[in-house]
């Protein structure tokens, strides 16, 4: 009796690797994504997502094994089925993803039938595959770990040099803190094109937003260009009022930028003078302070994080994208509502609000209603930018109404910076996966919205003015600083912060 129990336990433990094999296959794309983008990967997300994958694969194994009553056959079937996730990428359409999973399911059934008949795959073959996957997983994990070590070193290096003294922003003890100090709004509309781009690229010549800004005495910068063509370096540069140095490689830099936004110089300086800070990052993870492991994971699942990227490789892709669109829409409306309610807050305060709109996913028609199923399909690719224009018109009207509300209901006139992090590539051109760009295409990507409301101050702006100087100008005007305005540069070669255009060159090449 004792011998039989011992033998049963030994057989059970000798088959554990067959139970784990499907899990290691499912886990592989998650590790690969993290290796490719360690700067956008969080260990807590890795742990939680890996736990979800493990639980799912274990439940699937146990349920199927109850039917097949053969651990080798069960492991073979699930291993072949789960290989689908290793051949799909995020460029695949919903239909293609589901077709691949359906095809692999049929192949798995055929493999099950023929293996039962001819025994071409035995336990030892699956054992070899398991050992190989363990080594590959360890290799990937070690690469992620080493990348994180380098990232932490770069963050520590930046933290030691990023002092206000470097920018001639020494705290002035004689400057009196007062509720009369202007409230400051920094509002970013992600990927909102310039007035010139809307006119020349999309033939929209009289957008309500630009008319309202001028009517309310905003300084609408005619020749405004972002300093970077991507969100991550652009926002982190603007909030720290300086250009980036070459710190780390492209796929690791986002983690440093994340730190730079949370601990930005503008926030630090204003908080010393008694400003209350309200940070409203986009639904994207960038610049969002930690709220705990589980809450962070859920928040990041709303957008383009590891959760979204992974589950878009599965038959759940349609549901996951639908979930993302709902959360994206709700959060954008919540941000607009927060900005309106802010007029009742006790000042002085600084509000940073990064609204991921009109950037995809497209969730608004121009009248604010939701898309139908056909429009959702078109919006996934949007080759003619039709859905982009719809969402751009919506957010331009919504932010125009929000700004009017703020100006009308604020006790004291606030400082408002309304800016986009960059523009949009022209129709028929995408910058994804490229390092070098033709200047005539890149010129539209840099051409952005930049409008400043500076109450009681008259400013003569130079012909070209970029967003790295926005807060330098504000601090000079309202806090008696004497910060020099930086030369306007537009760094174009991805995350190589050495190569740049001058705005004059971009303006000449906008055709």
**pLDDT tens-place string over residues 388-398:** 999 999 999 99
279: helix, strand or coil:
strand
Q: What is the mean pLDDT of residues 52-79?
A: 94
Give dist(CA 447, CA 222) in Å, integer: 10
Q: How confident is the model at residue 252 (pLDDT cuts 50, 70, 90)?
A: confident
Q: Which secondary-structure segment (H or E) carries 193?
A: none
* pLDDT > 90 in the chain, percent: 51
Question: Pick from 375, 478, 451, 448: which is nearest to 221 by CA?
Answer: 451
What distance in Å separates the CA atoms of residue 442 and residue 429, rounded to the nearest whole number?
10
Is pLDDT larger for residue 476 or for residue 158? 476
Helix (H, G, I), strand (E, B) or coil at 293: helix
Q: Which has more confidence, 24 or 42?
A: 24
How confident is the model at residue 406, as a pLDDT?
97
What is the value of pTM for the model shown? Answer: 0.89
137-175 b/e with 16+ CB inside 10 Å = b?
eeebeeebeebbeebeebbeebeeebeeeebebeeeeee
3-state secondary structure of 508: helix
- By the 8 A CB rule, do 362 and 379 touch? yes
Give me the pLDDT at residue 294, please.
Answer: 85
Q: Average pLDDT, stretch 227-256?
A: 85
Q: Between 157 and 362, whose confidence is greater?
A: 362
pLDDT digits (tens, 9 = 90+) for 94-120: 788 889 999 999 999 998 889 888 888
Greater confidence (123 vs 167) lies with 123
- pLDDT of 434 strictly over 60: no
* pLDDT given at position 66: 93
Task: Name the average pLDDT for the chain.
Answer: 87
pLDDT of residue 511: 66
Q: Of 134-143, 241-250, 261-270, 499-508, where does the model show the most confidence?
A: 134-143
Buried b / exposed e over 357-377, threshold 16 CB at 10 Å, is: bbbbbbbbbeeeeebeeeebe
Q: 503 pLDDT band (50/70/90 cuts)?
A: confident
Most confident range, picked from 133-137, 313-317, 477-481: 133-137
What per-residue confidence (pLDDT) applies to 474? Answer: 95
Mean pLDDT of 68-85: 93
Residues 323-335: tens digit of each pLDDT = 889 999 999 999 9
Q: Is 47 helix (H, G, I), strand (E, B) or coil?
A: helix
Helices 16-36 and 71-82 sit at what angle, rounded to 10 degrees? 20
Q: Average of pLDDT values for 152-173?
A: 67
Model confidence pLDDT, tens digit, residues 254-273: 888 888 898 899 998 898 88
Question: How is the chain split into domains, by residue range?
Answer: 2-145, 177-292+325-508
Peptide bond into 146 cis (omega under 30): no
Least confident residue range of 9-18, 25-34, 310-319, 387-396: 9-18
Which residues of 177-327 form beta strands (DSSP E)?
A: 184-189, 219-220, 224-225, 276-280
Per-residue model confidence (pLDDT) at position 175: 60
Could you please state the CATH topology (level 3) that the domain comprising 177-292+325-508 is classified under: Alkaline Phosphatase, subunit A (3.40.720)
pLDDT in tens, 465-475: 999 999 999 99
Q: With 80 as the cut, is the pLDDT of residue 202 above it?
A: yes
- Nearest alpha carbon to residue 196 among 409, 394, 446, 27: 446
Neighbours of 200 (CB within 10 A): 17
pLDDT of 368 strictly over 60: yes
Task: Taking residues 291-316, report their average pLDDT.
Answer: 84
pLDDT in the model for residue 31: 94
Distances (CA, A) of 110 to 72, 99, 101, 107, 113: 15, 17, 14, 5, 5
Residue, of 503 and 404, whose pLDDT is higher: 404
pLDDT at 6 over 50: no
% of the chain at pLDDT higher than 70: 90
What does the pLDDT read at residue 18? 92
Higher pLDDT, 126 or 439: 126
Confidence grade of residue 246 (pLDDT, cut at 50, 70, 90): low
CA distance 330 to 207: 25
pLDDT digits (tens, 9 = 90+) for 175-199: 665 556 899 999 999 999 999 999 9
- pLDDT value of position 166: 54
Beta-bridge partners for 451: 220, 418
- Residue 234 pLDDT > 50: yes
């Amino acid at each position: 009796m004792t011998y039989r129990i011992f033998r049963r336990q030994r057989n059970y433990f000798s088959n554990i690797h067959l139970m784990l094999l499907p899990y290691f296959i499912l886990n592989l794309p998650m590790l690969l994504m993290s290796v490719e983008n360690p700067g956008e990967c969080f260990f807590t997300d890795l742990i939680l997502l890996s736990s979800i994958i493990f639980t799912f694969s274990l439940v699937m194994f146990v349920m199927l094994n109850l039917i097949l009553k053969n651990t080798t056959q069960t492991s073979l079937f699930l291993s072949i089925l789960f290989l689908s996730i290793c051949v799909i990428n995020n460029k695949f359409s919903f239909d293609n993803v589901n077709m691949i999973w359906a095809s692999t399911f049929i192949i798995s059934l055929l493999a099950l039938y023929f293996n039962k008949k001819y025994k071409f795959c035995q336990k030892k073959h699956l054992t070899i595959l398991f050992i190989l996957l363990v080594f590959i997983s360890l290799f990937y994990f070690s690469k992620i770990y080493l990348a994180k070590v380098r990232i932490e070193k770069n963050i520590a290096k930046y933290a030691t040099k990023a002092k206000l003294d470097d920018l001639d922003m020494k705290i002035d003890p004689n400057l009196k803190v007062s509720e009369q100090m202007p409230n400051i709004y920094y509002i970013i509309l992600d990927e909102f094109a310039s007035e010139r781009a809307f006119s020349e690229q999309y033939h929209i010549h009289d957008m309500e937003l630009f008319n309202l800004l001028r009517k309310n005495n905003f300084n609408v910068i005619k020749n405004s260009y972002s300093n970077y063509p991507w969100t991550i370096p652009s926002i982190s540069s603007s909030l720290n009022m300086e250009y980036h140095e070459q710190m780390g490689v492209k796929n690791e830099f986002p983690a440093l930028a994340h730190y730079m936004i949370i601990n930005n110089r503008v926030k630090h300086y204003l908080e010393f003078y008694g400003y209350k800070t309200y940070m409203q990052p986009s639904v994207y993870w960038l610049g969002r302070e930690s709220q705990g492991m589980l809450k962070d994971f859920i928040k990041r699942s709303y957008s383009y994080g590891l959760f979204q990227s992974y589950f878009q490789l599965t038959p759940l892709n349609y549901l996951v994208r639908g979930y993302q669109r709902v959360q994206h829409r709700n959060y954008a409306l919540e941000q607009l509502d927060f900005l309106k309610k802010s007029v009742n807050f006790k000042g002085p305060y600084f509000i940073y609000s990064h609204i991921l709109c009109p950037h995809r996913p497209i969730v608004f028609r121009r009248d604010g209603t939701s898309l139908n199923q056909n429009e959702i399909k078109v919006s996934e690719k949007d080759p003619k930018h039709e859905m982009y224009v719809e969402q751009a018109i919506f957010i331009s009207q919504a932010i125009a109404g929000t700004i009017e509300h703020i100006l009308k209901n604020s006790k004291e006139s606030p400082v408002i910076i309304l800016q986009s992090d960059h523009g949009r590539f022209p129709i028929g051109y995408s910058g994804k996966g490229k390092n070098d760009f033709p200047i005539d295409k890149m010129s539209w990507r840099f051409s952005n919205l930049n409008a400043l409301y500076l109450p009681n101050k008259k400013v003569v702006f130079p012909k070209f003015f970029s967003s790295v100087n926005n807060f330098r100008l504000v601090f000079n005007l309202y806090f008696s600083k004497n910060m020099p305005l930086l030369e306007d540069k537009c760094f174009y070669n991805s995350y190589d912060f050495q190569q740049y255009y001058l705005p004059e060159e971009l303006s000449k090449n906008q055709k």
